Amino acid sequence: MTGKQAKHRKLGNSSIEVAPLAFGGNVFGWTVDEATSFSLLDKFVDAGLNLVDTADVYSRWADGNKGGESETVIGKWIRQSGKRDKLVIATKVGKDMGDGKVGLSAAYIRRAVEDSLRRLQTDYIDLYQSHADDRSTPLEETLQTYGELVQQGKVRLIGASNYGVDRLDQARKISLEHGYPLYQTLQPEYNLYSRADYENNLEQYCLKEGIGVINYYSLASGFLSGKYRSEKDLGKSTRGGKTQNYLNPRGLRILAALDAVAGRYASTPASVALAWLIARPGITAPIASATSLEQMDALIAATQLSLDDDAIRQLDQASAP
């Protein structure tokens, strides 16, 4: 059935509540221009959604960029719209920004957070995430620094991205021992195609400790939207090449199941793939990006789509790792 948006969920064990889908800001400053970015953010917020995920390094990979472009676009939109209070902003630190700006040392985090706050044109970041594990910096140093930022009111919560259970658990023990903030969220790769690593290695731990999961690649770089069904489709977008690995019997079986469920619900494969994630225990808000208002409609529709047990079983079976 379709209808009202699914209830807001808490980020981990915190009091911050988010709608059950996050807008991925990796497209800002890359595949969408500023005016389109503003329209997408307006539509997202006007639909009652509130979690936007970005990173300082987005979108450094595009020609002519140096990093910080995504945060800058969001900051300009906040200034123009006056809707800072409608957003829960999640950004990240730690990936290589060039000129030695990388990692999770105390000195670098203190510098990077000021840069992010300036670009985002805000006094605080709702969710500040370690973008990747930095084994060259002691976890104690990183977590203590985050504690300082929380005390200063610059950061509300912290999260981790691309961490394994061993390091997550080490960090948790250190935080509990010293009174540092706990990682409240985890960003792993997870979608109908890429299931095994998360389900076998991370899911139970996150459920046990109440860590909120805001997974990335929720649509497998667009493959689960049904846009890429053969080799000739790969040139349809900038990200098309990434989907080549999904074009195999299992991938096509998943698309067939998405088509069938979408037909039954008068929906789209993208909305169904996201609704499957939203229904998964432990998932707080899958992250998905959009480059057009039509794609944004599919994201919004996913939060209003409640799949029945038969639909979930059909998708589970078709995508079984």
Given a contact cutoff of 8 angstroms between Cβ atoms, the answer to whether 267 and 3 are in contact is no
Question: What are the C-alpha distances in Å from 43 to residues 25, 38, 248, 292?
Answer: 14, 9, 35, 11
CA max distance for the chain? 55
Of 58, 228, 246, 265, the catalytic one is 58
Contacts of 225 (CB under 8 A, 6+ apart): 219, 268, 269, 270, 273, 295, 298
DSSP state of 60: T
For residue 149, what are its two tokens? 């930022």
Q: Quick check: bond before 59 cis, omega within 30?
A: yes
For residue 245, what are its two tokens? 């690995």
Is 228 among the residues known to form the active site? no
Given a contact cutoff of 8 angstroms between Cβ atoms, the answer to whether 97 and 104 are in contact is no
For residue 168, what are its two tokens? 């997550």
Please give the Cα distance from 158 to 115 (Å, whole number): 17
Residues recognised as catalytic? 58
